[in-house]
Amino acid sequence: MKLGMFTSGYQRNPLEHCFEDAKRFGYDFIELWGGRPHAFPPDLKAGEINEVKHLIDKYEMPVLGFTPEHNAYPYNFMIGSERQRADAIEYLKLSLDMAKELGSDYMLISPAHAGYYVSRKEIWERLEESVKELVDHAENVGVKITIETLTPYETNVFRSAMDAKELLDKIDSPYLVTMCDLVPPFVQNESIMNYLDLLGDKMYHLHIIDGAPGTDDHIMPGEGNIPLPELIKELKYVGYNRTATLELVTGYINEPRFYARRAIDNVRKMMEDAEY
């Protein structure tokens, strides 16, 4: 299992700190957050992608995943008018183009809240239309779309392994896969391992992080309530050998360099104990 650094928590630091720290702390890859000031897709398109490519080469640290910011202002393809939806989709198509130029294997999307005044039928029609449009572009570009379930605190659209299976059954493409962030199933009393059992080869990626009941907080691995050592042993047992990002997001934004080191040290120790 390859371990990646998610760069969102470094957004008050120079982007180079992400690559430098990923290299010196022993991460295998970077999942690049696509927001200002670091890697906002329109900025990349305007020429700033060259600096990211320089850092990839300088630190020999690949960007295997690209995660454009699109769960809040100004982009959310699940809410607003058709013009707003189309604008968000065009932004994500550009993001796929930039992911390709970065050498990324996948681009992560996560359907955000659709608002309080829409039916499940309307939600799923919009979700399927949007994801199908993105998948068509992904097939042309050659970058997989990895779609992430979220917590009920974040979305009323896409929250469970069964939601993921339903969408994957409707849109059958090798360029559409899914993943599991550990917090959504944990706070909903859903089985984490069910993602692997139910989704099979379509379960492509993990966000390893700790959590606490009743909140969507992402907590330092080993310092919350998720039984991570046992989970790591189960992942070893079932032969999960794909990628996992340690997703600290912004909870540790004051000192990302301290906490990025602690996160991978904690998880590497769990992997050693599991003989992973």
166 counts as catalytic: no
Spatial separation of the C-alpha atoms in residues 268 and 226, rounded to whole Å? 16
31 is catalytic: no
As a whole number of angstroms, the distance between CA 93 and CA 209 comes to 28
Give the integer Cα–Cα distance in Å for 193 and 233. Answer: 12
Nearest-5° Cα angle at 67, 88 to 54? 115
**Active-site residue among 129, 148, 154, 275?**
148
Q: Please state, as a whole number, how many other Cβ atoms lie within 10 Å of the Cβ of residue 125.
A: 12
Length of the chain: 276
Q: Which residues fall within 8 angstroms of residue 179, CB to CB, at 6 or more apart?
A: 108, 146, 147, 148, 203, 204, 205, 206, 207
The one catalytic residue in 31, 247, 272, 275 is: 247
Distances in Å between the alpha carbon of 105 and those of 53, 66, 96, 148, 249? 15, 8, 10, 16, 21
Catalytic residues: 148, 247
